[in-house]
Structure 1
Amino acid sequence: MSQQPVLLPYTDPAFVADPFPLYRQLRDDGPVRRAVIAGGLEAWLVTRYEDGLAALSHPQLSSDVRDASDPRLIERLPATDRESVLRNMLRSDPPDHTRLRRLVSKAFTAHRVAELRPRVQGIADRLLDEIVPAGRADLIETYALPLPVTVISELLGVPVTDRHDFQQWTDDMILRGIEPPDPARVDGAWRQMRSYLTTLLEAKRARPGDDLLSALIVARDEEQRLDEDELIAMAFLLLVAGYITTVNLIGSGIAALLAHPDQLRILRDDPALLPGAIEEFLRYDGPVNPGIARFAREDITIAGVNIPRGATVLVASAIADRDPEHFPEPDRLDIARQDNAHLAFGHGIHYCLGAPLARLEGQIAIGTALRRLPGLALAVPPDELRWRPGGLRGPEHLPVTFTFDDATAGSRS
C-alpha cells in the first residue's frame, strides 16, 4: 500500500457530486490511507467497516483536538475564548465527557424524543401548508432546514425568530467549504454567537422556562456541575448539532428517493418501511462525509498500519458504510435492507446523543413530504444539484415540483 497521501479532489464538481467511486478505490487499495482532505489538512482514512468500528472505541484515539500535532487544527478555532469553544462534550474525553453528557442525556432518550412526535408533525405540516399551493419549492430552504431548527430551538428555549442570525454565524464557523477558513471571519462569528448565548442565558436566569437551557443553568448555578465556559460551549453545541446534520439527512434522503424511483414507489406503497429507510439513507449517503475525526495520543497500529502520535485519524464512515465485506451490494439503495448497523452516528461513548431525535425528524419530514406532495420530482436535471463539498454532505438546494389539489392541501396527519 502506497503511503503517498492521496488528494481528495474537492475542486472537482464530479467528485463533490459523487465521491463514492473514488472512495471505493481507496477502500480497495487498503484499510488505512493517508489523504489530504478539505482545507489542505492531512489525515489517515480508516476505510473499512470493522476497522472503523474498532477505531471509534480505541482508548488511544482522542476526540480532543489539543492532542493533534497539526497546529492548523487549533488555529481554525476562534481566537477569542478558544478554550471555551473546546469545552464541550464533542471535543472532550472522560471524565469531562462523561460528566457533560450525563447532564443532557435524559432530554434525548428514545422515550423523551417520542413525546415530541406530535409537535414535530405539527411543524412539518405547517411548513408544507405554506409551500403546497405553489406546486414547487426549494425543499432545503423551506422545509429540511426550518424543521430541525424549529425543533431544537423549542427544545432549548431559543427564540425561533433568531434562527437566521445563528445560522449565519454557524455557516461562518463550520460550513466553510474546501478552503482554509478566514480566521477573522471565524472569530467574528464566534464573538457574535457567544454574545448572543450569554444574553440568552442571562434572560433565562431571570425568567427560567421549561426548557433544556434553563435546566443547564440550574446545573451550573445551583449544583455546580459545570462552569460558565462549559455552559456556553454546551449551549452552542446543542444548538448547532441539533439541526445541522439533520438538514442533510432529510435533503439527501429525499434526493436519493428521487434518483431511485423504484425505491420511492416502494416507500409510498408501504410507509411502514420508513424507519428502515432512514437507516439506509444514513448508510448510503450520510450527512457526515468522509467521516469522524480522532487524534492519536500515542503511536498506534490500525489494520497493520503504523500511525504516529498526534496524527489525525478520520474514521471514514462514508467509505466504511459501503464496505462489501459488511453490506451486500453496498452501492445499491435498498430501503428494506436488513441488519443495517451503519457508522453514520459513530460508535462507543461518543455515539451521537441526538440520534433518536434525528431519526424522528427524518421519519416525519420525509414521510410527510411523500404523503402530501404527490408527483414529487426534481425541478432541475440531477447533475445540476449542488452538494456541500466537504465535512458535512448534503444538497445545498433541492428544487422540486409536485401536484397541488384540494385533497393534497387537506391531507395533514
Structure 2
Amino acid sequence: MTTSPQTAGVRLPAHLPHPFSPAGRADPGPAYRWLRAHDPVHYDPFSRMWWLTSHADCAAALRADGLSAAAGQRERARSDALPPSMLTTDPPEHQRLRAPGQSLLGPAAIRALADVLGADVDALVDGLAPRADGVEDVGAPFATAVFGRLFQLPRADWATFAALARAASVNLDPLAGPAVAMAGRAAMGELSRFLTAHARTVTEGPLARLGADTRLTERERTGILGLAVVGGWQPLAEAVGNALYWLLPRPDAVALLREGDADDARLLVQELLRLEAPIPFTARVARAQVALPGGTVPRGGRVLIIIGAANRDPAVFERPDELVPGRAANPQLAFGAGTHFCLAAQLVRVCLELLLTRLVRRHPSLSLAQPSGELDWDPRPLPRRLLGCPVTTGSADVH
C-alpha cells in the first residue's frame, strides 16, 4: 500500500503510453487497466498527483470529507481563479450555493424544460442532412436548444449564446496554456455579461427564481450561471457524439431504443454515459491523510479521481468495455457522487433520452459514416470528445 511519493516506486510499464501523453490521451484505457490491477492508488510523478482508478477508491474519494474540491480546483495548471460556485466550494458553503442552484437545474425546472423541448428536438432531427456530424450538427445545436429554453433566451439570441458558450468552454481544460486560458477568461467575462443582462429581463421561470434569490450575491449568481454553461453546454454536446459512437454500431441497441419504453431508454443512456463520460476525471486535495480501500493519500496530496477508469472496473461491471443495453445494476460515476454529485445530472439524462429516442425513430437507418475505429479522439484530456462523428441517415428513412 503506497502512502507517500517517497515510497511510491510503481511505474507504468514502458510499453504503455502515459495517459497525458499524446498517444495516451487518444486511448488511456490500457494504462488505466494496468494501474487499476497493479496500483489503484498510484502516485504519478509526471502530474505529481495521486491517481485513483478503481471504482471502490473513486467512489470513496468522491464522498470523502477529507478531500477538498475547492482546493482541487485551485490546483489547476492555470493561474486564473474560477468564480464562486458549487464547483469551487466545500461544505457548508457548497450547500449554501447548491440550494439556489436547484431552482435552475432541479426536478421542477427539468420537467418544465422537457415539456417545451420536444418541438426543438423534432425540428433538429427532421432537418438533419443525409450526411452530418454527430457533434457539430446534432450535439451542439441540441445543447444550444436545451440551454436556450432553460434560460428562456429569445430564439434570435441562440446563435450568440452558442458562440459564447463554445468560446468559454475552453475553461474546462485544466491544462490549457496561457494564451488559451486568457482567451477563455475573456470569453467567460463576455458570457457572464450576456447572461446577467438577459436575466434582468426575465420575470418568471427558473432563471427569474435564481435572480430573485436573496441568499446569493450578484457574483455568486453569475458563478452559478457560468458553471451551468461551462459544465453543461459542451459536455452535453459531446455526450451526443460519444453516445452515437457506441450506439450506432449496435443494431440491437438501436432497435431497443427505437422500439422500447422509457425504462429501456433510461438504462441505455446510463450505460452510454458509463462507457464515455465527457468529464472523465475530477481533482481533489487531501486536507488530512485519507485512507481509501486501495491505499492511503497523505495530507496535502493532490488527487485525480479518474471516473473514466472507475466506470470500466471489472470488479463492478461485467463486460466493462462493452455496451450492455439492459444493464440494470449500473453504479456509474459519470456525474460524481456524494456532496458534489452533479446538479445537472437529471438534465443530461432526460435530454439525452429525449434526443436519442427521437433521432433513431425518425432515422431508423442512421449509422456511422465510417468505422468507429477510424474516428479520432481530441488530444486534450478534458472533455473526452471525438474530433468528429460523421453519420449518415441512410436512404430508407421513413417520413
Q: TM-score range by the shorter chain?
A: 0.7 to 0.9
Deviation at 1:170, TM superposition (A): 1.9
Deviation at 1:267, TM superposition (A): 3.4
Q: 1: CA distance between counterparts of 2:247 and 2:294?
A: 39
Deviation at 1:62, TM superposition (A): 0.6
Q: Match for residue 189 of structure 2?
A: 194
Deviation at 1:153, TM superposition (A): 2.7
User: What is the identity percentage for the equivalent residue pairs of Structure 1 and Structure 2?
Assistant: 30
Task: Note the alpha carbon deviations across 1:290-331, whole angstroms, 9 max, x for none.
Answer: x22211112323235332333221222211122222222222
Q: Match for residue 42 of structure 2?
A: 33
- The question of 1:115 aligning with 2:112 is answered yes
Q: 1: CA distance between counterparts of 2:123 and 2:44?
A: 44
Moved more, 380-389 or 44-53: 380-389
Moved more, 165-174 or 332-341: 165-174
Q: Equivalent residue of 1:315, what SS? A: strand
Deviation at 1:364, TM superposition (A): 1.0
Q: 2: CA distance between counterparts of 1:321 and 1:261?
A: 23
Q: Is the 8 A contact 2:78 2:178 kept in 1?
A: yes
Q: Is the 8 A contact 2:165 2:191 kept in 1?
A: no
Q: Match for residue 285 of structure 1?
A: 276
- The question of 1:394 aligning with 2:385 is answered yes
Q: Match for residue 129 of structure 1?
A: 126
Q: 2: CA distance between counterparts of 1:149 and 1:315?
A: 29
Q: Match for residue 155 of structure 1?
A: 150
Which of 88, 94, 98 is residue 95 of structure 2 equivalent to?
A: 98
Deviation at 1:5, TM superposition (A): 5.4
TM-score where L is the length of structure 1: 0.84
Q: Match for residue 284 of structure 2?
A: 294
Q: Equivalent residue of 1:233, what SS? A: helix
Q: Match for residue 209 of structure 1?
A: 203
Q: Is the 8 A contact 1:67 1:310 kept in 2?
A: no
Q: 1: CA distance between counterparts of 2:33 and 2:231?
A: 29
Moved more, 49-58 or 297-306: 297-306
Deviation at 1:57, TM superposition (A): 1.1
What are the residue-to-residue correspondences of 1:11-410 with 2, within 5 Å? 11-13=21-23, 15-35=24-44, 41-65=47-71, 73=76, 76-78=78-80, 82=81, 85-131=82-128, 134-158=129-153, 159-175=157-173, 180-202=175-197, 204-205=199-200, 207-219=201-213, 223=214, 225-272=215-262, 273-289=264-280, 291-303=281-293, 305-389=295-379, 390-404=381-395, 408-409=398-399
Deviation at 1:210, TM superposition (A): 2.5
Q: Is the 8 A contact 1:292 1:316 kept in 2?
A: yes
Q: 2: CA distance between counterparts of 1:267 and 1:157?
A: 30
Structure 1, unmatched stretches of 5+, are none
Q: Equivalent residue of 2:330, what SS? A: coil
Q: Match for residue 5 of structure 2?
A: none
Q: Equivalent residue of 1:331, what SS? A: coil
Paired positions, count: 384
Deviation at 1:275, TM superposition (A): 0.8
AA at the equivalent of 1:309 = R
Going from structure 1 to structure 2, the CA distance change for 1:368 and 1:308 (only over 3 Å counts) comes to: same
AA at the equivalent of 1:152 = F
Q: Equivalent residue of 1:115, what SS? A: helix
AA at the equivalent of 1:8 = H
Q: 2: CA distance between counterparts of 1:47 and 1:204?
A: 41
Q: Equivalent residue of 2:325, what SS? A: coil
Q: 2: CA distance between counterparts of 1:252 and 1:9?
A: 19
Q: 2: CA distance between counterparts of 1:55 and 1:309?
A: 14
Deviation at 1:191, TM superposition (A): 2.7
Deviation at 1:369, TM superposition (A): 1.3
Structure 2, unmatched stretches of 5+, are 2-7
Going from structure 1 to structure 2, the CA distance change for 1:130 and 1:340 (only over 3 Å counts) comes to: same
AA at the equivalent of 2:229 = L
Computed over aligned residues only, the root mean square deviation of the Cα atoms, in angstroms, reads 2.5
- The question of 1:8 aligning with 2:21 is answered no
